[in-house]
Every structure is written in C-alpha cells, then in structure tokens.
Structure 1
Amino acid sequence: MCLELDLWWLLLFPAFFALGWLAARVDMRAVLKQAKSVPAGFFRGLDALVEDKTDVAAQALSEVSRQSGELELHLTLGKLYRKRGENDRAIRLHQALLDSPDLAAERRDTVRYELAQDFRKAGLVDRAEEILVKLLAGNLSLAARRELLDIYQQDRDWKKAIATAGELRSDAHSFSHMVAQFYCELAQGALYQSDYAAARGYVADALAANRKCARASLILGDIEFAEGHTEAAIAAWQGIEKQNYEYLTLAAERLFDAYEKLGQPQAGIALLRGYLKTFPQLEITDLLYQKVASYEGEAAALDFVREAVHARPSLSGVYRLIEARLTDLNPDKRYDAEMARAVVQKHAQRLNVHRCKCCNFRSRAFFWHCPACGEWESFTPNRSEIQ
C-alpha cells in the first residue's frame, strides 16, 4: 500500500510541473498581448510629458482617449488640460463623463471632484463649492474638505475656514497655527472697525488655538494702545519675545511709540538696544539710529550705528554709517560719499527681501500668508540680503 502511494506521488510531480509551466506561458502571452494592444499614441503622449511638451501630450492622449473608454485616461487628460490652463476643455470633458450612462456609480464622485477643481481653476468658485459640499458625505470627504478650506481662505471667509479646519483636525495635523491666523484675520477686521470687544474675543480664540501666535500678541497690543492702555500694550508686545523673538521687528516701532507716549523715550531706546544686542538679526538698526539721533544727538547715533554695523555688517547698516559720517566730510569728499551711499542703498533695496521658508518666494513686502504656496506664518519678518 505504501509503495503504491509513493508511485502516485512520483507521477503527480511532473504533472504539477507541467501545469505550472503552462500557466506561466499563458500569463506571459496575455501580458504580451495587452502590451501590443496599447495604442502608440499613449507612448507618444507619455514621452511628451517626460519632455514637458504638454501641448503634444494633450493632443496624443486626446486621440487615445477617443479610441479608449478607460476612465483613468480621461481623468489624466482632464488634469493635463487644467494644468495647461485649458479649463473649458477640462470642464467639457468631465461634464461629458458625468452625462455618460456608462459611467459607474462608484466613480461619479471622482469625476465630480475633478470637475470642482476645473471650476475653481476657472474662477467659478461658487460652482466648485456647490459640488464639494455635496461630496462631504462620500468617500472623498477628506479631499473635498481640503479643497473647501482653500476656497474659504481665498474668499476670506474666515468663519467657514475655522469650521472646516476643525473638521479636518486629526492626530497627524491639528491645524492650530492656521486656525490661530484665521482668528487673527477676524480680530484685525474688528480692530479696523474699532470694535475692540470683538477684536479681543478673536485674539483670545487665536491664543487658545496657538499660544505661540505672535500675531495675536501684536494685535492685542494694538487694541490696548487704541483704548489708551499703554502699559498693557507694552506688556502684550514684549510677550512676543517668548513666542517668537523674530517678530519683535514688527513690534519695535510700536514699543517705542508707547514709551514715548508715557514720556519715557530713553526707556524705549534702551529696550530696543537690548533686543538688538540679544537678537542681532532683528531689523531695527535703522529705527534705532533715527531715535538715538533725535533724543541723544548725531554723535551718539554715529557711535551706535558703527557698533551695530561692526557687530553684524549689512548693506542697510553701511548706508546709515555713510550717512552719519557725511557731516564730517568736506564738500569734495561728501560728494563721493553721497554717490557711494546711493549705490549701497540701490543694492540694499534690491537684495533685502522677505522670504518664505516653505517655497522660497521672495518679496519686498511682508505677508502673514504666503501668496505663492499659501502657507501661514512662513515669511521671515527680518529681511535677508539674498543674491
């Protein structure tokens, strides 16, 4: 009996081997057949994309999509149209897909999501929002909420943005720094309208969302100063040092004005001198030079700017140093010095820029919200000399 079983096993092994070989052959033939069935236009389009020839790629993929009913190919073509700024073509393509009775029900939300992006790119934000709101109950709810958050920021609808960010909050991303900025936008608007109570409430909400929000402290100081609470304003602005000392640059002139209002300009100068000594990267040398010159005289201002430039050389500092020495020069040398000062000033204005730490976008103006990548609180408050 045992011998008979061994013989059966010996006969089965070659059979298993033959079946495996046959299956592999069948699979390989199927793969080769599928590869040969891919239209040549698809490869032309793919090659054009690699070469960044989006116009050629769009034309090639369009020809293939007319021959093929593959949804993924149509979606890719729609994205390509959108990237090229051909929003009308993308909208027509996705609308045609939605009108097709062959489109599976489970894929309709995917096409609607693409259509919403088409509308948004075309500037039809209301229509995009209408579609995205309807997607919130489906499988694309997360992506739809992210798109809506971008739309609400674009429309400056900060209350809706706050609510949407709250719905997106997770262990991986709290959105706290972003929500704090939304509340700051509301606080700034209330402050412009002299609604100090509302502004205070929004500032409190901003600090509750992110206690490190330097902008909230900056606005709180503005509220206190506007209401005549000068010492409270000073305390609010000084609190920025513990949150993010780099933003003291934005509070420096406010702090001096507050001390000046209290009749203590020298205390304001001393405070700013201390900040500059502790944090030499703060862009307050020019401000301090003017205040020292006004209250302590040109000689003291010259000593200050010379010390500051030697500690941290910069084009703007050199400009002020040349200006401070002009009065000591005879007319001939003064003419040369003025020419040198003008050249330094020109280059300082060209090179001194605020820079986004996320996308490296550069601007002479300061933004809380980067206009290039949309990141909040990413702009350097202190300009840097960049070639």
Structure 2
Amino acid sequence: MDFSLSWILLGLPLAFGLGWVASRLDLRQLRIDNRQAPKAYFKGLNFLLNEQQDQAIDAFIEAVQNDPDTSELHFALGNLFRRRGEYERAVRVHEHLLSRGDLSEADRQRAQHALALDFLKAGLLDRAEDALRKLEGTPFANQARLARLAIYERSREWPQAAEMARKLEAAGEASFTGRLAHYLCEQAAGLTASGDTAAARQLLEQAVADAPQSARPRIQLAALQRTQGQDAQALETLTALVEALPPALPLAAAQLAKAAGACGQAAKALALLKAGYHQTPSLDVLEAMVALESSDPASAATARDWYIRHLEREPSLIAAARWLAGERLEREPCHPPLQRALDHAAKPLNRYRCAACGFEAKEHFWQCPGCQAWDSYPPRRVEEL
C-alpha cells in the first residue's frame, strides 16, 4: 500500500509536468500555424494585386492546407480558378464547401451561388439551371433569376424566359415590357416558319397591345400581313408604327413602300416618308422614296434627284454610290472601276453597329449576336451615326 501510494505521489507531479509541456507544444504549434496562414494569405493577396494568378493560387492553396476550416480562403481560391477558366477545380472547391456540416447558412447560400456561376461559365447550362433553382428564397434569388433568364434566352426557351422576366419585374428588378414583346415575336417567328400563321398573328397582336412603343411587333405583323396578301392592312400597321414611334421609320421604310405600291396608295406612303425624311434624313427612307417615285411614270425621270438633294444636305458615300450606279458617264469605260471603288469604300459604312458592344452587322438585329443585348442596334447605319 505504501509502495503504491509513493508511486502515485511521484506520478502526479510527473503527469502535471508532462501535461504542461504538451500544452506549451500545442500552443507553440498553434502560433506557428497562425503565423503561416496569414503569411500565405497575404502573399497570395500580393500576387493577386500584381496580376500573378498562378503564384496567387499556389499561395492560397498553402493557406487552405494550413487552415482548412477557413471558408473565405476557399471562396477566394474558387473565384480565382473560375477567372482562369479552370472550372472543374472551381467546382470542386465550392462543392467541398457545400459538403461541410459546420458551414453557416449565409456561406452555404454564397457557395451555392458560386457553384452555379462555375457551371454557367463552363457552359453546363442544365447543371447551372439546377444550381440556380436552389437559390430561390435566398438573398441571391434575383441574381439567380437573371442568370436563368440569360440561360433561357440563350437556349431560346421563350415561355420560360417570359415567366422569369415576369418574376423579376414583380420583384421590382426592372421593367421587362419590351423584352416580353420580343419573346412573343420570337415565338411568332417560329410559328410562321412552321406554317401556323394564325397563332403567329395572335401572338404579334398581343405583343402590339402589350408594348405599343416597341417597333418590332408592328414590323413583324406587317410582314406577316403582306405574305397573306393584306397589303392595305400592312400599310395601316406601319403607319400606326410611324405615328407612335417616328425614329423607327428607317426600319419600316422599305416594307412601307412595297405595301403602298402593292395596294395603290403610293402617294400616301410617299407623303409619310417625306415628312419623316425632312425631320431626320435617313438612307433607308431615302431609298424608299426613290423606289416609290421610280415606280410612278410621272416622276420616274426625277426620282433619282433625291440622291443629289441628300448629298447637298448630308455628305454620304452610300448615296453617291447609289446615284452613280444609275448614271451614264461621258467616259463610259471608267464607270465600272469607279463604281467598284465607291461601293468598296461605302461597304463598311452601310452596316449597323451595336451601341452596347460595337458589334457590326449587315442587317439590323433586335438582339445583338455579340453581347446578347436587346434593342442595342440604332435604326440608322454606321455612316449616319
């Protein structure tokens, strides 16, 4: 008993001493780890500020290894991977965050949003859509809806895009009236291509009623009316467009002239075109006026004088090339090379340019093929801007 008691008395101080030594070692290691993690973090931040992304990623990986529970480092690393186009690594980082049981609800929602962006940037639209759906009811809901709207537009799922636009409008994000009219027009174009003109017309009439200040529904409706032989109705539709939205006349001018010529109301259309032209000179309106007057025997001889009047008012290579194309020169052999030179010089000026990204195209687009913005193409050509 005495032997056992003596060992116990000797062992207690020894155990206390060993425990004290172990605690000091743990504290020392903790201090070392705490010094290493901020050092690696600030080193990564320095690399990032100097746009050295490879070195920044290595530093952040080191910091994450030293302190695997730090969620902010994971977010920084995932965002870096996404910016570099390493989407698979970004997905792994954000999925690892979501798998952690100790993650706060706010960080979990943030990680879900980051994961959705990874899929979106990688072009995995189905997986991005599923990830974005999970953000409903969170602070990221409207951002997720905007991203889903872009997905639906990109995949041309117009009914789903319209539903998402209505939700965003109801949430006070912005007015989507014009864009909703475009969705109806896109659906109408598909129905027209498949031969269901009655359903297409119904959608276009709805778009006109919903967005009376939008040019596209009336222009598309007039085109449909003309294909059905209803030129007088098409002329009325385009006249209503010009009265409601005068800047849209250049987009409707050619079609208005054709409809008027077909239904015998050239004089009415010419008066409308001249009024718009005198207010704002336009090459498309000029072409429509020349076409209408050329079709009338009484004014055909002087129809092309409009080009000269336009040149007196506005210097234009396009108008000069169009005038020269119908003239006979004293030195006739010089005409073809001169015409080719003018046409070549005027070609870049005859395009339309997106006001959002600068993408140029031969025809007018309602949605820019470059940046996907709606109504970003002015109704005037590059030479007129």
Q: Which TM bucket (shorter chain)?
A: 0.7 to 0.9
Aligned residue in 1 for 2:174: 173
Q: Deviation of residue 53 (structure 1)?
A: 4.3
1:120-131 pair list within 5 angstroms: 120-131=120-131
- Report the Cα offset of residue 324 of structure 1: 3.3
Q: 1:309 aligns with which of 302, 308, 311?
A: 311
Q: Measured at CA, do residues 175 and 266 of structure 1 come closer, stay the same or move farther in structure 2, by a change above 3 Å? A: closer
Q: Does 1:226 align with 2:227?
A: yes
Q: CA deviation at 1:313?
A: 1.7
CA contact (8 A) 2:257 2:289 kept: no
Match of residue 185 from structure 1: 186
Residue 310 of structure 1: how far off its partner (Å): 1.6
Q: Secondary structure at the match of 1:340?
A: helix
Counterpart of 1:363? 361
Unpaired runs of 5+ residues, structure 2, are 1-33
Cα contact 2:78–2:93 (8 A) shared by 1 = yes
Matched residue, 2:276: 275
Larger deviation, residues 288-297 vs 353-362: 288-297
Counterparts of 1:163 and 1:258, CA distance in 2: 36
2:262 corresponds to which residue? 261
What is the letter of the counterpart of residue 127 of structure 1? Answer: R
The counterpart of 1:346, out of the listed 323, 344, 347, is 344
The residue type paired with residue 339 of structure 1 is P
Q: CA deviation at 1:129?
A: 1.0
Q: Which secondary structure does the structure 2 equivalent of 1:121 belong to? A: helix
**8 Å contact kept, 2:286–2:307:** yes
Structure 1 residue 160: Cα displacement: 0.9
Return closer, same or farther for 1:55/1:251 CA change in 2, 3 Å cut-off. farther
TM-score scaled by length of structure 1: 0.80
- Shift of the alpha carbon at 1:36? 7.4
2:150 matched to which residue of 1? 150
How far apart are 1:202 and its partner, in Å? 1.8
Counterpart of 1:280 in 2: which secondary structure?
coil
Q: Give the whole-Å Cα distance in 2 for the aligned partners of 1:57 and 1:246.
A: 52
Where does 1:25-36 land on structure 2 (aligned, <5 Å)?
none
Taking structure 1 as reference, are residues 154 and 314 closer, same or farther at Cα in structure 2, changes over 3 Å only? same
Q: Deviations over 1:17-39 (max 9, x none)?
A: xxxxxxxxxxxxxxxxxx97764
Partner of 1:372: 370
Alpha-carbon displacement from aligned partner over 1:60-82 (angstroms, at most 9, x marks no partner): 43443433443233223222322
Q: Greater CA deviation, 90-99 or 40-49?
A: 40-49
Mapping 1:67-86, distance limit 5 Å = 67-69=66-68, 70-86=70-86
CA distance in 1, matches of 2:190, 2:117: 30
Provide the rounded CA distance (Å) in 1 between the counterparts of 2:258 and 2:123.
44
The corresponding residue for 2:302 is 300
The aligned counterpart of 2:13 is none
Q: How big is the shift at 1:89?
A: 1.6
Change (3 A) 1:102 1:190: same
- The residue identity in structure 2 corresponding to 1:137 is G
Is the 8 Å Cα contact of residues 246 and 282 (structure 1) preserved in structure 2?
no
- Helix, strand or coil at the partner of 1:283: helix
One-letter code of the match for 1:308?
H
User: What amino acid maps onto 2:93 in structure 1?
Assistant: L
Extract unaligned runs of 5+ from structure 1: 1-34
Distance 1:174 1:79, change over 3 A: same
Q: Find out whether 1:141 has 2:117 as its counterpart.
A: no
1:207-249: CA deviation from partner (whole Å, max 9, x where unpaired): 3432201101112212322333221111111222134333322
The question of whether the paired residues in 2 share the 8 Å contact of 1:132 and 1:148 is answered with yes
1:110 is matched with 110
1:133 alignment partner AA: R
Q: CA deviation at 1:270?
A: 4.9
Q: How does 1:36-47 map to 2 (within 5 A)?
A: 39-47=38-46
Which residue of 2 is the match for residue 215 of structure 1?
Answer: 216
1:164 matched to which residue of 2? 164
Residue-by-residue CA offset, 1:260-288 (whole Å, 9 max, x unaligned):
22245565455434432332035333454
Q: Structure 1's 60 and 299: CA in aligned 2 closer, same or farther, altered over 3 A?
A: farther
The one-letter code of the counterpart of 2:147 is E
- State percent identity of aligned pairs: 32
Q: Taking structure 1 as reference, are residues 223 and 323 closer, same or farther at Cα in structure 2, changes over 3 Å only?
A: closer
- Alignment partners' CA distance in 2, 1:63 and 1:281: 63
* Alignment partners' CA distance in 2, 1:351 and 1:57: 46
Q: TM-score, normalised by structure 2?
A: 0.80
**Deviations 1:93-144, CA, capped at 9 Å, x for gaps:** 2122222334334422221121111112222111111121222133322222
Aligned to 2:203: 202
1:153 to partner: Cα distance: 1.0
SS in 2 for 1:385: helix
CA distance in 2, matches of 1:136, 1:292: 59
Could you tell me which amino acid in structure 1 is paired with residue 91 of structure 2?
I
Answer with 1 or 2: which has the greater Rg.
Answer: 2
Helix, strand or coil: the match of 1:138?
Answer: coil
Q: Which amino acid aligns with 2:65?
A: R
SS in 1 for 2:373: coil
Post-superposition offset of 1:41: 4.5
